[in-house]
Amino acid sequence: MKEEYLRVFAAIAAIPPGRVASYGAIAARAGLPGRARLVGRLLGEVPDGMVLPWFRVLRSSGQIAMAPGSRGYREQCRLLKAEGVEVKNGRVPLSRFGLDADIDHAIWGMPES
């Protein structure tokens, strides 16, 4: 497993309950700006035994990335709602639940030292 991938998993694991983050934000936090696609790909092949709050990762628009109606989609909605995140038509209002730059700083720590 490449060290870069572990940083992606770590960034995902750091999303606090009741909040969500975009693929792009996760990639950036892992030191891989512009590589949101990699994050999406990795979520499709999480190592066995590794538990991650994958459901807290959304598109930059707040939309759930999985195909509407699919199993994962419904599961994601359920898990998010279960921890108090508002999901309407597969979309979450990032203005209230998303980690923006400032909050990232507070929760994830100093950007680059």
Partner DNA sequence: CGTATGACGTGGC
Partner DNA sequence: AGCCACGCCATAC
Place of tokens 């939309």: 63
The verdict on 69 binding DNA (CB under 7 A) reads no
* Total residues in contact with DNA, by rule CB under 7 A: 23
CA distances from 97 to 48, 56, 71 (A): 29, 10, 23
Closest contact distance (angstroms) between CB of 21 and DNA is 9
* Other C-beta atoms lying within 10 Å of the C-beta of residue 30: 21
The verdict on 96 binding DNA (CB under 7 A) reads no
The verdict on 57 binding DNA (CB under 7 A) reads yes
Q: Which ranges constitute the DSSP H helices of the chain? A: 3-13, 23-29, 36-43, 71-82, 94-97, 101-108
The verdict on 49 binding DNA (CB under 7 A) reads no
The verdict on 97 binding DNA (CB under 7 A) reads no
CA neighbor of 104 nearest in space, from 44, 17, 21, 33: 21
Determine which residue in the list 11, 30, 39, 87 makes contact with DNA, applying CB under 7 A.
39
Residues that bind DNA (CB under 7 A): 22-24, 34-41, 43-44, 54-55, 57, 59-61, 65-66, 72, 76
